[in-house]
A and B are shown apart, each in its own frame.
Chain A
């Protein structure tokens, strides 16, 4: 364990965390961190955040090394692996897959919600998994790629704390087992859900997620055309309520992937300004309230992200 961590840390050596007066964290970010913490508290959530200027390397961190249950954010790791395999010539993204009408992982979007058999290419399954967080499409890809390949790829990229231990259907089975016949919004039920515990489920940290996005944007994770294709998919995500809500600007481009479980609301993504500024963001939240519809908590992700981007832009541009 120790040697694994040390190895990962070498890869991150020039990205010190919030505990140290990091040389690459610009002055003035302390005030921004306080504002971000206040925005989280104001929305009734606890939040973790990491923001990274993709060109200067400047950072802003708030609990960025704390492990979190990633939920559907882990689909990003899956897709980076798929497109990296394609870049290496080991997978043909246009290969069609037959998708029977039965046995699909449940969900309310994409193939999860569709009723009839279909035939889609790997890259169109990837589109569904990213654009609408289609659980059925994601599990077809998890079955194609395998947990081990995804974990090995993350380790190759220096992300040793980013680990998948189950597919979406296995995660849902654990969720259903812990909920039983009880109300999924009962606080006593939510408190016992194992899928909220990063030690039990798919996990990462805010810092590692922005490192993954940086590797994707810099062409290190998926070199060449597959990288461009995957960045395009991240820009096609339909949800407007989280990261994108913080950037209601026609000239700013938002890419992202959300993740949601009871009380957890996450999004990681990249925001691009027309002056060339590009910022990778990872925001993970946990709400006190157990309600399933909680727009204030969703919007806090956008608010926190914009405060972070503003702080980075103030000092680096």
Chain B
């Protein structure tokens, strides 16, 4: 029996919940699709579908086997992709992703660093938001990525975490612009510009929580609709922005925050168990590039952790 073909048909019927629609999608006749599903059920010795007048529903056994079938089909697709890479000579390509806002200096150092440590490998580098990078890592369409935390960890392994310190961007003619550095608490009562919460809710909440921890109660937190509006709000002095060190746009100044209270945590990530030599070389190059020209700092001194009773596990 052509198992892969039968499984593909099984999946189509499960998705369409209807033999007619599935047959149409597969461009085969409905009776022959029905026969193939019956053949598969005989082969497996399990009823996959409850057939009703208005369509079909997976049996519980069918549902479990669908998970397995999808796994088989996915790994066979991966096998074909690897074979295609070998055939076309793309096997020596590393597919990598970096998040926006790493800064050109860090990125340039990463490219030259990887090139010199791994001259034979072609680097296919894309700029991807973290959510997209995590999805592509899971699908194995990206081999290694630089991600920002908090980042969903299921199925991933991470390199060492680096901290990208945040500072404050203010209007150059505003009240606090003449200070070499500012304490977070001094931003109490000001309007703050962050990023749209929906793009990274966990990081957004973590930043607000850290502001509160350091005595800052902003008058309001503005979710900017776009970078231009954010820039305009800062320029007019009606808000200040919390951003990594940057070349301040004209009319604004960037100031560090006293004691590095706020950072964006960054690390490399790859699918767990798939850290081949090219992935490791990329991860090392990324770590070096982010640390030196990138200005990221290694693990800050560990804060004390005081677990609460509801935590249920010991540290």
Spell out A's residues near B (CB within 8 Å).
5-6, 9-10, 12-13, 15-17, 19-23, 41-44, 46, 65, 71-72, 106-109, 113, 132-133, 135, 172, 175-176, 183-188, 190-192, 239, 241, 258-263, 286-293, 296
Pick the contact of A191 from B57, B60, B157, B315 — CB < 8 Å? B157
Which listed residue, A9, A133, A183, A286, touches B152 by the CB 8 Å rule? A286
Contact A261 B158 (CB under 8 A): no
Residues of A within 8 A of B160 (CB): 188
8 Å CB contacts to A: which residues of B13-60? 14, 17, 46, 55, 57-60
Chain A residue at minimum C-beta to C-beta distance from B17 = A21
Residues from chain A with Cβ under 8 Å of B92 in the complex: none
Contact A107 B151 (CB under 8 A): no
Query: Given the known A-B contacts A44-B201, A108-B307, A239-B310, are A191 and B302 also in contact in the complex, defined by CB atoms under 8 Å?
Result: no
Within 8 Å CB of B59, what residues of A?
A: 9, 13, 16
Q: Which of A188, A192, A296 contacts B161 (CB 8 A)?
A: A188
Asked if B150 lies at the interface with its beta carbon under 8 angstroms from chain A, I say yes
How far, in whole Å, are A263 and B151 apart by their CA atoms in the complex?
11
Residues of chain A lying within 8 A (CB to CB) of residue B46 = 6
Chain A interface helix/strand/loop/mixed = loop
13 examples of A-B residue contacts, CB within 8 angstroms: A16-B58, A17-B63, A23-B57, A44-B201, A113-B309, A187-B265, A190-B153, A260-B312, A286-B154, A288-B202, A289-B149, A289-B150, A292-B308
- Which residues from chain B contact A71 at a C-beta distance below 8 Å? 312-313
A185 — nearest CB in chain B belongs to which residue?
B305
Instruction: Specify which of B14, B153, B311 is in contact with A187 (CB 8 Å cutoff).
Output: B153
Q: Is B267 an interface residue (CB 8 A)?
A: yes
Chain A contacts for B55, CB-based, 8 A:
21
B159 within 8 A of partner (CB): yes
User: Is B232 in the interface zone, CB < 8 Å from A?
Assistant: no
The answer to whether B312 touches A44 (Cβ under 8 A) is no
| Chain B hits for A9, CB < 8 A | 59-61, 64
A263 lies within 8 A of B61 (CB): no
Contact of A260 among B14, B156, B272, B313 (CB under 8 A): B313
Would you call B66 an interface residue if the criterion is a C-beta within 8 Å of the partner chain's C-beta atoms? yes
Instruction: Indicate if B120 sits at the interface (CB-CB under 8 A).
Output: no
Docked complex Cα distance between A199 and B53 (Å)? 39
Tell whether, in the assembled complex, residue B206 and residue A5 are in contact, meaning their CB atoms are under 8 Å apart.
Answer: no
Question: What are the residues of chain A within 8 A of B305 when measuring CB–CB?
Answer: 184-185, 292
Establish whether residues B310 and A65, one from each chain, have CB atoms under 8 Å apart when the complex forms: no
Contact in complex: B60, A258 (CB < 8 Å): no
Looking at the assembled complex, report how far the CB atom of B218 sits from the nearest CB atom of chain A, in whole angstroms: 18
Question: What chain A residues lie within 8 Å of B277 (beta carbons)?
Answer: none
Q: Would you call A187 and B151 a contact (CB within 8 A)?
A: yes
Answer whether residue B116 sits at the interface, using C-beta atoms and an 8 A cutoff. Answer: no
CB neighbours of B88 from chain A (8 A): none
Interface check B119, CB cutoff 8 A:
no
B313 and A261 contacting across the interface, CB-CB below 8 Å: yes
- Given A6-B46, A23-B57, A43-B201, do A108 and B308 touch, yes or no (CB 8 Å)? yes
- In the A-B complex, the 9 residue pairs with the closest CB atoms: A44-B202, A9-B60, A289-B150, A288-B150, A188-B158, A260-B312, A20-B57, A106-B314, A108-B309
Contact between chains at A187 and B63 (CB < 8 Å): no
Q: What residues of A have a CB within 8 angstroms of the CB of B151 in the complex?
A: 187, 288
Chain B residue at minimal CB-CB distance from A66: B67
- Taking CB atoms and an 8 Å cut-off, the chain B residues in 246-285 that contact chain A are 265, 267, 272
> Which residues of chain B come closer than 8 Å to A290, judged between CB atoms?
149-150
Q: Is the CB of B57 within 8 A of A241?
A: no
Chain B residues, CB < 8 A from A106: 314
Given known pairs A21-B55, A289-B150, the reply for A6 and B313 (CB within 8 Å) is: no
For the complex, give the distance between the alpha carbons of A187 and B265 in Å: 9
A292 — which chain B residues lie within 8 A by C-beta?
A: 305, 307-308, 311, 315
User: Nearest chain B CB to A98's CB is how many angstroms away?
Assistant: 24
Q: Is the CB of A191 within 8 A of B313?
A: no
Q: Are A16 and B57 in contact (CB under 8 A)?
A: yes
Q: Give B56's nearest chain A residue, CB to CB.
A: A20
Which of A16, A21, A41, A291 lies in contact with B206, CB distance below 8 A? A291
Once the chains are docked, how many angstroms separate the CA of A291 from the CA of B315? Answer: 12
B310 / chain A contacts, CB cutoff of 8 Å? 239, 241, 258, 260
Chain A residue at smallest Cβ distance from B155: A191
Closest to A109 in B: B309
- The answer, among B63, B152, B267, for a CB contact under 8 Å with A16, is B63
Inter-chain CA distance A172–B66, complex, in Å, is: 34
Residue among B64, B158, B313, B315 with most chain A CB within 10 A? B313
CB distance from A228 to the nearest CB of B (A): 26
**B138: shortest Cβ distance to chain A, in Å?**
12
Residue of A nearest to B52 (CB): A23
- Least Cβ–Cβ distance between A220 and chain B, in angstroms: 19
A258 to B309, CA, bound (A): 12
A132 to B267 CA separation, bound complex (whole angstroms) = 37
The CA of A258 and the CA of B312, in the complex, are separated in Å by 9
Alpha-carbon gap, A252 to B130, bound state (A): 41
User: Which residues does chain A contribute within 8 Å of B67, judged by CB atoms?
Assistant: 65
**Interface check B186, CB cutoff 8 A:** no
Q: Give the nearest-CB partner of A291 in chain B.
A: B206
Q: Are A287 and B313 in contact (CB under 8 A)?
A: no
Which of B14, B46, B265, B315: most chain A CB closer than 10 A?
B315
Q: A44-B205, A191-B153 are in contact. Are A17 and B60 (CB under 8 A)?
A: yes
Are B61 and A6 in touch, CB under 8 angstroms?
Answer: yes
Closest Cβ of chain B: how far from A167's Cβ, in Å?
13
